[in-house]
Amino acid sequence: LSAHLPQKLAEGAKFSDPHTKALILLQAHFSRQALSLDLASDRNVVLGSALKLLQALVDVISSNGWLKPALVAMESSQMVVQGLWDRDHPLMQLPHFTKAIVDRCQAHEEEIDTVFDIMGLEDDVRDSLLQLSPAQMADVAHFCNNYPNIDLEYEVADADEVETGDAVQMTVTLEREVDEDTDASTIGQVSAPRYPKPKVEGWWLVVGDVKRNNLLCIKRVALQKTAKVKLDFVAPDEAGDYKLTLYFMCDSYLGCDQEYEFDLSVAQGDSDEDEDSEDGDSDGMEED
């Protein structure tokens, strides 16, 4: 099995080591390799533990302020839930989709790259492209109905008055688009037939500085229909113009993450030394 996986094992790796077996089973999961019943059972145990470990890994990485590794860990969570590599096309998440179907979608005169593009097709065009049975089309429809479509708006409080070291507050408003007749109990349930347990969506809101690889703020979010989330972070210690990014990352689906660049101008604030100096001058004047 290991000989047919994309990432080769390190030299000297022992198949008797649990971490080696876990690595092989994870790669098999991402590559959607068929497994025997015994190996499939072991894989399911690994997947359940992997998701918990990845969430803990995000917490550890973010506590150190590392942006890019945190984003990689979040994307790895998506891979575990959907059974895909991050380089695979997001349409491969849909049930019964094959590489041939994805190729037909990409070759179509209209741009079809996302789940939302599939949902927007006319029925006859969709049937012609997918060439699936009615039962299989019902599975596709179920997935599309569960796939999150979320509007995001954000605002930075007093953005024109930020000084070095200030506490900066950002308000993020989230609203999920759902049909009026949708059962509230099903909102957020993940369509993931390759993940062995029922899964509910989880999200991260992250503010980061890509250029400096700094993670400034992170918050875990559970979203039903609407939510208003406050993010707090500390402005940089050096004055200047900063290009920051707000990320909205899913832990369960590929292709639905959002990111927004925004500018933050930070003015030089009063330093402690200046304040101490002013206090000293004031005391001296009182003695005179």
Asked if residues 200 and 52 have their Cβ atoms less than 8 Å apart, the reply is no
Residue 260's nearest CA partner among 231, 234, 287, 225 is 231
Handedness of CA 218, 220, 225, 231 (dihedral sign): negative
What is the C-alpha separation between 37 and 44, in angstroms, rounded? 11
Residue 56's nearest CA partner among 228, 189, 253, 251 is 251
Residue 1 is predicted with a pLDDT of: 77
Residue 288 is predicted with a pLDDT of: 42
Helical residues (DSSP H) of the chain, grouped into ranges: 18-30, 37-63, 67-82, 99-107, 115-119, 123-130, 134-146, 272-287
Residue 287 is predicted with a pLDDT of: 45
Question: For 267, phi and psi rounded to 5 degrees?
Answer: -90, 160
Handedness of CA 88, 90, 91, 93 (dihedral sign): positive
From first to last of its 288 residues, the chain has per-residue pLDDT tens of 777 788 888 777 888 788 899 999 999 999 999 999 999 999 999 999 999 999 999 999 999 999 999 999 999 999 999 999 999 999 999 999 999 999 999 999 888 999 999 999 999 999 999 999 999 999 999 999 999 999 999 999 999 999 999 999 999 999 999 887 888 888 999 999 999 999 999 999 999 999 999 999 999 999 999 999 999 999 999 999 999 999 999 999 999 999 999 999 999 987 644 544 455 554 544 444
